[in-house]
Amino acid sequence: MDYETLKVAIGPDRVGIVTMSRPEVRNAMNTKMMAELRDCFAAYYVDANAAACLILTGEGAAFCSGGDLKERKGMTDEVWRRQHAIVEQMMRALMECPIPVIAAVNGAAYAGGMEIALGCDFIYAAQSARFALTEVTLGIMPGAAGTQNLPRAVGVRRAKELILTGTPFTAEEALAWGMVNKVCPDDRLMGEVRAVAERIAANAPISARQAKKALDKATELDRLSGYAFEIEAYNRTVGTEDRQEGINAFNEKRKPRYKGR
């Protein structure tokens, strides 16, 4: 698909890079970008074999500065609600994407931009990256799953402090609190993210997708119910060609050649 506000490239290693591309406004999300992000991730739900791992990043000096407030100036309540319905669809498409998604936060990730990063499976950040959920300072509150995903990452008390004050914080603080998996030098961020994405992409695609589904249930279900879900997800991998290929490759001392079936 062709996009106006995104750049999407999938390499022969089946790693896809989705780049938010409005650098002149620090990749602020206008209605078009919201709709294109929604459509982009929804497409992978329909065709999960299109890629094996995705990297989401921003063009230029920022990851995403949140909603485009210039576009929202003078917006009626009705139009605002219609736009936010697109945001809700966008976040559901991102969080329900069956393919692992890594956020490569290359700069500021504020408000909706930080919520997009939180909606990914995990986050690598550049040393210069900054984060904040600033909505309460603007007369609203997080509405792109920030009140749900941030407590799962840093705990409820820390999330309350960050959301209720709107205070920005550094990549190193995000790492210490458990929100970010790794902080990288700015010039090595994409290289390090690509390395981990390539490692994910080299594994059996169905196995990775099923494991992601089970992991997503870990904070939503009690332990025994979660384990029951895990076994159902596990059983989906047993009858695949890739399971047999993994066993054969191990015994033949070679790299497996997975086909996603």
Taking all residues of the chain, what is their mean pLDDT, rounded to a whole number?
96
pLDDT at 236 over 90: yes
CATH class of 205-251: mainly alpha
Task: Encode burial over 55-66: b for 16+ CB neighbours within 10 A, e otherwise.
Answer: bbbbbbebbbbb
CA distances from residue 69 to 31, 147, 169, 231 in whole angstroms, order as listed: 11, 21, 21, 46
pLDDT of residue 221: 95
Percent of the chain with pLDDT over 90: 98
- What confidence score (pLDDT) does residue 54 get? 98
Domain 6-201, CATH number (from 3.30.2350.10, 3.90.226.10, 1.20.120.640, 3.40.190.10): 3.90.226.10
User: Where, residue-wise, is CATH 1.10.12 in the chain?
Assistant: 205-251
| Mean pLDDT of all residues in 165-189 | 98
Residue count of the chain:
261
Give ∠ CA 185-190-196 in degrees, rounded to 5. Answer: 105
At 127, is the pLDDT very low, low, confident or very high (cuts 50, 70, 90)? very high
pTM score: 0.95
Backbone angles phi, psi at 150, to 5 degrees: -65, -45
Mean pLDDT within 188-194: 98
Q: Check if the beta carbon of residue 125 is closer than 8 Å to that of residue 171.
A: yes
pLDDT (tens digit, 9 = 90+) per residue, 38-62?
999 999 999 999 999 999 999 999 9
Closest residue by Cα to residue 54 from 24, 112, 93, 108 = 93
Over 80: is that where the pLDDT of 1 sits?
Answer: no
State the span(s) of the chain assigned CATH 3.90.226.10: 6-201
